[in-house]
A and B are shown apart, each in its own frame.
Chain A
Amino acid sequence: MGFYALKRLISLAVSLLVASLVIFLVVEVAPGDPASYMLGINADPGTVANLRAELGLDVSRAERYLDWVGGMLTGDFGTSYTYRTPVAGMVAERLRVSLPLALYALGLAVLLAFPAGIYAAARRGRAGDMGVMAATQLGVAIPNFWFAMLLVLFFSLTLGWFGAGGFPGWDDPLQAIKALTLPAVALALPQAAILARVMRSSLIDILGEDFIRTARAKGLSRRQALWRHGLRNALIPVLTIIGLQFSFLLAGAIIIEQVFFLPGLGRLIFQAITQRDLIVVESVVMLLVFAVITVNFLTDLAYAAVDPRLRVRR
């Protein structure tokens, strides 16, 4: 286990290093100088030069890269060109929306997918199974931002149960959760469809195993065998997918935040893009990539801890 973990840790470090290089280079080749963009086209060249120095843009590329990466490692994400405030603070503030939203959506997805997947597997080939499978087929085909619009149309504009967007802050937790409900449902739906399919196929695979037949032979009913022995074993692949989905939800929230005007990381990225506040774009993207790669790494480790066969592979 120790060797496996070390190997994965090295590959994690390499991934992060390459990711930081790619992101830095992509942003570097972006046309337009932030300093002249901020000051407008009629700005005095001297002023632009001063601002460039102030923003740390006057040193070589390599130096800037090292500054940026070094800063990130110590929690300093740089200073926003537009707002002149530390990016880390802006990110922390936005995470208070994005992180709960992703967790909320993940919870909903699990809550929807587990019963649906188990139900379908238990009724494999019958009408109930076909119904669930048809629903998941539809679920993966629906763009979540469109589903979000339909939710707003129905629950906010027609029924008036929820606001159509915006976020009141965490002072009143109940209102905050209410504001995150429709976005979370919209995010959760396609994920729930995928998860239900994985749950179903994993259970069906497990139910064909010898130990299930043994359990049945010693007198357990189909239902008992499924709940006592099938489910626990079927959960392993499901947990991997959940790990992958969490990072997807965090990143996927970018578009949903646009639909509901939520002040999360997604809106921060889009604002920064329109204002050519590249340091913010760079740092937020790197942070998301970091979150995704790290969650995948932890899932791999957890998986290997549960299933020793995986340590030898790869």
Chain B
Amino acid sequence: MSAKLVTGAALTALFLAAAALSFLWTPGDVEAMNIAARLQPPSRAHLLGTDHFGRDILSMIMTGARTSIAVALVAVGIGMGAGVPLGLAAAARQGGWLDEIIMRANDLIFAFPSLVIAILITAVFGPGAVNAIVAIGIFNVPVFARLTRGAALSLWRREFILAARVAGKSTPRISAEHILPNLANLLIVQGTIQFSLGILAEAGLSYVGLGAQPPVPSWGRMLADAQTMVALAPHVAIIPGLAIVLMVLGLNLLGDGLRDRFDPRLRERRA
């Protein structure tokens, strides 16, 4: 096991555990305000200090992780759920009209500046976690479709697929039974990367007020709230940012580590 994989898995597990734990217990109440104890630096009573309403920052980070993880995870789910079947279908009908339509549509979505469209969608349909998920998820679809198609195309030329054909299996069945299982590693790696991009996108959207709405805690909004208080209490701005960086870093390392593990040939070449 590489150091990357271990570090990445540990960081990811830490945040997943913190998010899971927040359902049962947090050190403080994330909705109760205590103005007297506002903007306190980290101390024994509040390990990561308190924010401008006197709320415990550690508790908010834990509950905020829930929002980030949920939004990014569902967005990856949308991307995989739609992208993988489309990519499989395109590869199975390579060069046909279906392939052409799917790939052109992909190119088109790719060409859109995703952040602008995400802002447009959340602005028009109202800010909120669900719309943020949709906005981020749409842009995951072409990523997975393209990846799936590319990898599936090379699989279709392999002999075991030919054997399956000779055995009389239909194209959809071959796609589902032989192609898909061979893509699993690749999809897991890409899923991890898209997961980390989703965390960043969610943070950005909620920072500009288009993500999860109060009182649902989110890291991006914690940063937006902290902006005017940076001078008074730097920790309010630094801690949520660090949480984002560590979570994203963890996922990226995990993705890299998994890729190395699944395909040792890439270890040398990878950027």
0 or 1 for each of A10-46: is its CB under 8 Å from B? (1 = yes): 0100110011000100110111000000000000000
Most buried by A among B107, B115, B196, B203: B115
Within 8 A of A (CB), among B115-132: 115-117, 119-121, 123-126
**Chain B interface size, under 10 / 10 to 19 / 20 to 34 / 35 or more:** 35 or more
Cα distance, A288 to B124, chains bound together (Å): 17
List the A residue with the shortest CB-CB distance to B249. A141
Chain B contacts of A137 at CB under 8 A?
249, 252-253
Q: A15-B108, A141-B196 are in contact. Are A254 and B119 (CB under 8 A)?
A: yes
Most buried by A among B125, B196, B200, B253: B200
Q: Is A285 an interface residue (CB 8 A)?
A: yes
List the B residue with the shortest CB-CB distance to A12. B111
Residue from the list B104, B112, B119 in contact with A289, Cβ < 8 A: B112
Cα distance, A19 to B112, chains bound together (Å): 8
| A153 x B230 contact (CB < 8 A) | yes
Tell me the minimal C-beta distance from B263 to chain A in angstroms.
16
Cα distance, A140 to B228, chains bound together (Å): 25
| A293 x B271 contact (CB < 8 A) | no
Q: Is B244 an interface residue (CB 8 A)?
A: yes
Q: A19-B112, A145-B223, A146-B244 are in contact. Are A285 and B231 (CB under 8 A)?
A: no
Stretch at the interface among B19-27, B86-94, B169-177, B233-241: B233-241
| B204 x A143 contact (CB < 8 A) | yes
* 20 chain-A/chain-B pairs, Cβ below 8 angstroms: A14-B104, A15-B107, A15-B111, A26-B120, A30-B125, A137-B249, A141-B196, A142-B241, A142-B245, A143-B244, A145-B204, A149-B227, A153-B234, A157-B230, A200-B271, A201-B271, A204-B269, A254-B115, A270-B208, A296-B111
Chain A positions near chain B (C-beta within 8 angstroms): 11, 14-15, 18-19, 23, 26-27, 29-31, 137-138, 140-143, 145-146, 149-150, 152-153, 157, 197-198, 200-201, 204-205, 247-248, 250-252, 254-255, 258-259, 269-270, 273, 281, 285, 288-289, 292-293, 296
